[in-house]
């Protein structure tokens, strides 16, 4: 008996010395900790994620991709400081908005009283934007559609050259190239003339200007700040919540908004090389429609600079409802991580459901989710002509594949889909019933609806509707229409790849 006890004691001692017992215990403990962590992360995904599709995608990621899935979720799925950062920004916005609320309500009611068929047909859309984000209706505007960089940049340079009081700019992509340097030199020149020049650049999209151009601008008297600085590249959560807006406001009277960033690639020049043709759309607004763009800029500026610019008269020189002959009615839709609701998504849905005759959409990234797809299908099956222009040449294989997974249902419902073949179509536009125009920075994808700061301009006007409609049909001359039967019978492995890409599309 003594010998048996001794043998068992020696065996346990030897096992402990060899590390077998310690190793097994640690593995059990690690497994228990991992399961607890997995359960807690799954609960956080369910609690924090507004989109069901995105929540399911993250749950699949963390469950079926052990450890790495958790790392990816904490890297790109959430932002540890989102609540704190953007709640502070929202407080600043609300503080500024309080001063505008009364005037916005009064002026918008006055414009509704005017006889405008385009506005009357979209009254629900206009009211929704007023209620949701206090975006005012403005009637005294001159509007110009700018096709491609070769039309946009001369107008931008002229407006900056004539600035007298201030120049406000914010861009997702601003590059240190020929176009970027030409604008940079003019900004410095105006700053030295005594014009207040403020510039917000996205720290991810415009990373190439940090080291050289930003110091040059600061030295030249331009006030420059990055939007939500990317400090640790290893922690990709800071790559979420980017400022995808493209806004210029000059003297509170002239504004630019749309899809065109500041880069050589947006200008289609004959260089003798094989440069990809870049098809894009921007808008120039002169009048009170600029005031909400100014408001957005000031909120973004106060957030990223730490200043608190006041709503001073020289920032808002135009009356919201001042009389201008043949002025266009303009309203701005903006949203971002600081918004309580996905305002731009709601605006698109409302415009689609209000259309009774025709819907023309151009978008470079089409991962719309079920709500947009259902709205387009319902419209098409109800007799509305729905046409969708998307890239035939894409800059993202996975995004392109995910987008194509939606086409089967749309084609079956009667939606016409066209692949742009001349180059890459980057425009984000929509025309409904030849009288409602949307031009902006927002793509039709999860990122634009949920993660990025975006801004779209809406014009309620038959003349502008006809103009953008003509541009759309001109683009169709360089596009190939998708044949529903051929599309339905494409290879099974291609369909499998597209459906797989769609599964992960909420994570893009």
Query: Got the DSSP string for 215-232?
Result: HHHHHTT-EEEEES----
Boundary-marking domain end, from 325, 355, 378:
325
Element (H, E) at 250: strand 247-250
Mean pLDDT of 316-336: 79
Which tokens go with 71? 């790392």
Q: Both 21 and 52 in a single domain?
A: yes
Q: Both 178 and 295 in a single domain?
A: yes
Q: Which residue has the tokens 């499998």?
A: 496
- For residue 466, give Cα distances in angstroms to 234, 436, 471: 48, 9, 9
- Residue 83 pLDDT grade (very low, low, confident, very high; cuts 50, 70, 90): very low
In this prediction the pTM is 0.84
- For residue 249, give Cα distances in angstroms to 148, 168, 282, 425: 19, 5, 14, 26
The per-residue pLDDT for range 272-314, each reduced to its tens digit, is 456 789 999 999 999 999 999 998 999 899 888 888 787 778 8
Q: Both 153 and 289 in a single domain?
A: yes
Which tokens go with 329? 């009615």
Angle, helices 178-192 vs 149-161, to 10°: value is 10
Strand stretches in 269-425, DSSP E: 278-279, 281-287, 328-335, 358-362, 366-367, 385-391, 416-420, 424-425
Residue 235 lies in a domain: yes
Residues 6+ apart with CB under 8 A from 311: 96, 99, 100, 298
Q: Mean pLDDT across the chain, nearest whole number?
A: 85
Tell me how crowded residue 497 is: count the other CB atoms within 10 A of its CB.
Answer: 17
Residue 36 structural domain: 2-77
Q: Both 283 and 401 in a single domain?
A: no
Q: How many domains does the structure of the chain reveal?
A: 3
| Catalytic sites, residue numbers | 244, 246, 251, 426, 428, 433
Lowest mean pLDDT among 275-279, 317-321, 433-437: 317-321
Q: Both 252 and 226 in a single domain?
A: yes
Mean pLDDT of 313-321: 77
Boundary-marking domain end, from 325, 357, 382:
325
- Residue 401 pLDDT grade (very low, low, confident, very high; cuts 50, 70, 90): confident
Q: Both 184 and 236 in a single domain?
A: yes
The per-residue pLDDT for range 462-495, each reduced to its tens digit, is 999 999 999 999 999 999 999 999 988 888 887 7
CATH of residue 358: 3.30.870.10
- Residue 95 pLDDT grade (very low, low, confident, very high; cuts 50, 70, 90): low
Stated length of the chain = 508
- Residue 11 pLDDT grade (very low, low, confident, very high; cuts 50, 70, 90): low
Q: Both 236 and 368 in a single domain?
A: no
DSSP state of 416: E
Q: Are 361 and 113 in contact (CB under 8 A)?
A: no
Sequence-separated contacts (24+) of 73-80 with Cβ below 8 Å: 73/41, 73/45, 74/237, 75/235, 75/236, 75/237, 76/236, 76/237, 76/239, 76/240, 76/507, 77/45, 77/49, 77/237, 77/507, 78/44, 78/48, 78/237, 79/237, 79/238, 79/240, 79/241, 79/337, 80/237
Q: Are 91 and 97 in contact (CB under 8 A)?
A: no
> Whose CA is closest to 285, among 256, 324, 247, 314?
256
d(CA 497, CA 508): 16
Q: Both 88 and 73 in a single domain?
A: no
Q: Are 119 and 111 in contact (CB under 8 A)?
A: yes
Q: Both 70 and 160 in a single domain?
A: no
Q: Which residue has the tokens 């009364």?
A: 102
Radius of gyration of the chain (CA): 26
């Amino acid at each position: 008996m003594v010998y048996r006890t001794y043998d068992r004691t020696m065996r346990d001692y030897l096992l402990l010395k060899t590390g077998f017992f310690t190793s097994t215990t640690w593995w059990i403990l690690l497994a228990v900790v991992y399961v607890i962590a997995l359960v807690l992360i799954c609960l956080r995904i369910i609690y924090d994620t507004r989109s069901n599709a995105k929540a399911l995608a993250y749950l699949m990621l963390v469950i079926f991709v052990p450890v790495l899935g958790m790392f990816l979720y904490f890297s790109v799925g959430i932002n540890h400081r989102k609540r704190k950062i953007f709640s502070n920004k929202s407080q600043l916005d609300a503080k500024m908005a309080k001063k505008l609320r009364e005037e916005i309500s009064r002026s918008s009611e006055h414009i509704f009283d005017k006889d405008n068929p385009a506005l009357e047909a979209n009254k629900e859309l206009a009211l929704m934007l007023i209620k949701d984000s206090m975006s005012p209706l403005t009637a005294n505007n001159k509007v110009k559609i700018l096709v491609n960089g070769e039309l946009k940049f001369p107008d931008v340079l002229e407006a900056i050259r004539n600035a007298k009081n201030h120049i406000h700019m914010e861009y997702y992509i601003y590059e240190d190239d020929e176009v970027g340097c030409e604008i940079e030199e003019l900004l410095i020149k105006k700053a030295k003339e005594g014009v207040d020049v403020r510039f917000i650049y996205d720290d991810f999209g415009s990373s190439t200007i940090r080291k050289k151009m930003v110091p040059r601008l600061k030295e030249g008297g331009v006030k420059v700040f990055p939007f939500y600085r990317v400090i640790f590249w290893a922690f990709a959560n800071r790559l979420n919540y980017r400022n995808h807006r493209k806004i210029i406001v000059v003297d509170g009277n002239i504004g630019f908004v749309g899809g065109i960033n500041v880069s050589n690639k947006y200008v289609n020049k004959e260089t003798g090389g094989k440069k990809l043709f870049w098809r894009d759309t921007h808008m120039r607004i002169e009048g009170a429609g600029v005031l909400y763009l100014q408001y957005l800029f000031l909120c973004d500026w106060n957030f990223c600079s730490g200043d608190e610019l006041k709503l001073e008269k020289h920032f808002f020189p135009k009356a919201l409802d001042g009389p201008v002959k043949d002025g266009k009615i303009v309203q701005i839709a903006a949203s971002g991580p600081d918004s309580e609701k996905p305002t731009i998504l709601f605006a698109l849905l409302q415009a689609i459901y209000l259309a009774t005759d025709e819907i023309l959409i151009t978008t470079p990234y089409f991962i719309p989710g079920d709500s947009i797809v259902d709205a387009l299908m319902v419209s098409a099956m109800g007799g509305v002509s729905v046409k969708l222009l998307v890239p035939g040449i894409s800059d993202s294989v996975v995004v392109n594949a995910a987008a194509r997974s939606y086409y089967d249902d749309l084609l079956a419902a009667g939606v016409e889909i066209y692949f742009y073949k001349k180059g890459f179509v980057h425009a984000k536009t929509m025309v409904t019933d030849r009288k409602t125009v949307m031009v902006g920075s927002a793509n039709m994808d999860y990122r634009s609806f949920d993660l990025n700061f975006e801004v779209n301009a809406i014009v309620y006007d038959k003349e502008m509707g006809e103009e953008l409609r003509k541009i759309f049909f001109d683009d169709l001359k360089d596009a190939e229409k998708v044949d529903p039967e051929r599309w339905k019978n494409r290879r099974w492995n291609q369909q499998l790849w597209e459906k797989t890409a769609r599964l992960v599309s909420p994570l893009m």
